[in-house]
Structure 1
Amino acid sequence: MKQLLFNLYPTPAKNFSFYSLWLSFLVSNLGDWMYRLALPIIILEKTGSAYHAATAFGISFIPWVLFSLIGGVLADNYSKRKILIVGNILAAIFSYFLLFTLNVVNINFTFLYLAIFLLASVDPLVHPSFQSIIPEIINRDDYVKANAVIQTIDNTLTIMGPLVGGSIVMLLGGLNALWFEIGSFIVSACILYGLPKIKESHKKQITLANIKNDILAGAKYSFHQKVIFSGSLMFFVTNFALNMFEANYIFYMTKDLGYPLVDATIALSLGGVGALLAGPVSTLIVERYHAGLLLSISTTLAGLSTLLLLVNTNYIYIGIVLGFISFFGTINVITYFTLRQRTVPREQLGRVVAITRMISYASIPIGSWFGGLLLNQGVSMIWIILIAGLLRTGAGLGAGISPLGHEK
């Protein structure tokens, strides 16, 4: 992984500070995959209740609503390096608390849900610092390469995480696998210690009044900066459309199309390859074309690619089409992250990251729920794919005539 990233993205990857950042991201996310796979298995084994497993999953989304904006305020007013280090240490502590609550005969569900809530609260509090520290440790010309590295790691883990994590969970058991998660956060905190101590220009006391004022200031900037706001709305629609069919697609392939799970997994893996290819390609094209034009075109092509799923149901064909969808979607993300880092003043970047992420992510559970609702009402997956493809294509065309499309 290290040598591959050095070859594809030579400038930022050889920056020691950025190397520390992406390596910590890799380590902590490997541990996170252990958690995602082990937790539902442990709960089902301990309780035999799908209700508690589903409740635990739902609780993990609540902190994104409650704490994302606070995370943005922290990123804009305090040492991002310290926030990232402390965040990983707290994650290790909360993971141990979770392990403790699970390692008993009779689970106390109050403690269990509290532990899950606390652990899920770390990510929304530190993510704005993670995104907004990038402009502080690398040159402006390397933003595209840096975002491409992060997305390549993320996409690689999406493909390999279930395989590696699932193997460890099966070999060691769910409870033992959680020790890997605890260790990953500790190692990640140690790696982040290598980040430079950037001199802070200002600090504020943590008071409700200051948090409120900073959130309002960040929201005002985000909503009045038409280019950035248009982009977040575009992602709101695309995330809704993508999750309409993607959240239910494995069910469609195995139940409706009758493919064995291994064939469905091959199709999804081929889709992940497209996302991996988008990383190095984005470093070649993002600098050459206007960001607004590239965002509009890539979104439109992702929507049109979705419609190609209506043409054929061969699992290899499906995998190739999913690859095109993820390819254009990844270029989309890298382009927008780079645009946001170059456009937003550093002193407000953390809050803008938090606000735009909240807007764009808000549609993910809604899209999944709506797609599932349509299926439960007897609507064919063909219609769901058609609606999703048209929505995403429309989002791309709409972005082209919005302020985002006129961004130079």
Structure 2
Amino acid sequence: MEKTEPNFTYLWTSFLVSSIGDWLYRLALPIIILQRTGSAYHAATVFGVSFIPWVLFSLIGGSLADNYPKKKILILGNICAVFSSVFLIGVLSFSQIDFKLLYFAVFILASVDPLIHPSFQSIIPEIVRKEQFAKANAMIQTIDNTLSIMGPLAGGSIVMLLGGINALWIDTVSFVLAVGILRLLPNKIESKRSKHIIKKLWSDIVEGAKYSFHQRVIFSGSMMFLFTNFALNMFEANFIFYMTKTLNYPLVDATIAMSIGGIGSLIAGALGSKIVSRYKAGVLLSSSTILAGISTLLLLGNTNYLYIGVVLGLVSFFGTINVITYFTLRQRTVPKEILGRVVSVTRMISYASIPVGSWFGGLLLGWGEPMFVVIMIAGVIRTLAGFIARLSPLGKEV
């Protein structure tokens, strides 16, 4: 990217390193809990707790990005992640897991992402020329989609070879490496600092909330995602338990299924722009939600891990098309000067159901209900969410 290429290289390299660490964390933590306790409830609850900070801190992260140097926020965030990760490892090292401490440690570590993610997104225009924005975002998306395929298999192999705790140590090292890479970004990247950050944060929340709730199409979309995220995470939070404990597959087979599922996202990412430009947004959003729900119900048809992987690929394909369509619709209809706040508010609404769905799915399994019931409820809720979206103002959006 000519003059800005080295700086962007530092950014995407730090993203790659930390994302690899994230995959190790996502796989290692539920495996450790399941091996130590055998409890689907605790494994699913930990998964859900990790999303609560997105509901609580998303708007704060956006306000920080607008008022403080983004490079410093990214570096300090990763430093905090190092100490939080070490604390989590310490909690897991006790012979008897204290689940209150575990939930607290997971919450603290998960709080880093929503606080620094807006800075990561908004620093790109500062280090990349405007005509290179598309290429820069495509690079980030390519890394993300590729890791959705390679991450489960590579991460699962590391967890099996080195053990869950050692995998978490590697995750910790990834934060340290990210700090070192981010320090290479130029110091001239600065943001205007507000002296009234609390007052500005409150005004941002009020303005963003008013617009989001009064814009019926955008609000309908966030409500659709509220229910689809509830359904999706009923199953996703309990996937490792289902594969390794219920179906008795080795971890490698579970990660193979996850990797096959990631191919769906990769294909959707490649075809998304063509599909979104060809169909009406309302029809595409409701239809992709319905098809994702029906695809989820296909998991009831067979328990072969390759079959499960293919079905997960269908679910992730329709889910990714769904997200691309909504993001494009939001960018097209929301004024630029308020877009960041609307993104934060709608994300808070849609993410609010993730911890609840994770907890509910784990609770059902803890009560002795079979995974069949969890999958059935999740598929039906997601399908109904699509039909309701078709009848809402969102479904009438062209």
Short-chain TM bin: 0.7 to 0.9
Cα deviation 1:61-89 (Å, max 9, x = unaligned): 44334322211222344444443333223
Residue 19 of structure 2: aligned partner: 29
Which residue of the partner structure matches residue 359 of structure 2? 369
One-letter amino acid of the counterpart of residue 54, structure 2? W
Of residues 50-59 and 32-41 in structure 1, the stretch that sits farther from structure 2 once superposed is: 50-59
- Counterpart among 213, 231, 242 of residue 223 in structure 1: 213
Q: CA deviation at 1:329?
A: 0.8
1:245 aligns with 2:235: yes
Counterpart-to-counterpart distance in 2, 1:224 and 1:16: 43
Cα 1:393–1:91 change in 2 (3 A) is same
2:389 to 382, 399, 406: 399
For residue 151 of structure 1, report the CA deviation from its aligned partner: 4.5
- 1:320 equivalent in alignment to 2:310: yes
Contact 1:38/1:174 (CA < 8 Å) preserved in 2? Answer: yes
Give the Cα separation in 2 of the matches to 1:198 and 1:127: 17
Q: What amino acid is aligned across from residue 282 of structure 2 in structure 1?
A: G
Are residue 184 (structure 1) and residue 174 (structure 2) matched? yes
Residue of structure 1 equivalent to 2:75: 85
Equivalent position of 1:123 in the other structure:
113
Q: Deviations over 1:33-71 (max 9, x none)?
A: 3344555677899xx667997686665444334322211
- Displacement of 1:94 in angstroms is 3.7
1:273-312 matches, within 5 Å, as 273-312=263-302
TM-superposed CA distance for 1:25, in Å, is 2.0
Query: Residues 272-320 of structure 1, C-alpha deviation per residue, up to 9 Å, x if partnerless?
Result: 2212222211143334444333322222221232233344555443332
Which 5+ residue runs of structure 2 have no aligned equivalent?
none
Aligned amino acid, residue 326 of structure 2 = Y
CA distance in 1 between counterparts of 2:387 and 2:152 reads: 35
TM-score by length of 2: 0.77
Among 213, 224, 238, the alignment partner of 1:234 is 224
Query: How far apart are 1:248 and its partner, in Å?
Result: 3.9
Aligned residue in 2 for 1:6: none
Inter-CA distance 63–310: structure 2 relative to 1 (3 Å threshold): closer
1:146 to partner: Cα distance: 6.0
Could you tell me how far apart the structure 2 residues matched to 1:240 and 1:199 are?
Answer: 38
Q: Percent of aligned pairs with the same residue?
A: 66
Q: Distance in 2 between matches of 1:174 and 1:18?
A: 32
Deviates more, 1:337-346 or 1:94-103: 94-103
Alignment partner of 1:204: what SS? coil
| Aligned residue identity for 1:403 | P
Paired with 1:168 and 1:304, the residues of 2 have a C-alpha distance of 34
Larger mean CA deviation between 219-228 and 125-134 belongs to 125-134
CA deviations on 1:144-167 (whole Å, 9 max, x unpaired) are 776665444334334433433344
What secondary structure sits across from 2:111 in the alignment?
helix
1:123 deviation in Å? 1.0
TM-score, normalising length from structure 1? 0.76
Which shows bigger deviation, 99-108 or 247-256?
99-108
Q: How does 1:318-397 map to 2 (within 5 A)?
A: 318-375=308-365, 381-397=371-387
| Whole-Å separation in 2 of the counterparts to 1:362 and 1:230 | 15
What are the Cα deviations for residues 219-241 of structure 1, in whole angstroms up to 9, with x where unaligned?
Answer: 22222233322221111111122
1:256 Cα deviation after fit: 6.1
> CA separation of 1:384/1:101 partners in 2, compared to 1, >3 Å: closer, same or farther?
closer
Quick check: 1:272 aligned with 2:262?
Answer: yes
Answer yes or no: is the 8 Å Cα contact 2:51–2:351 preserved in 1. no
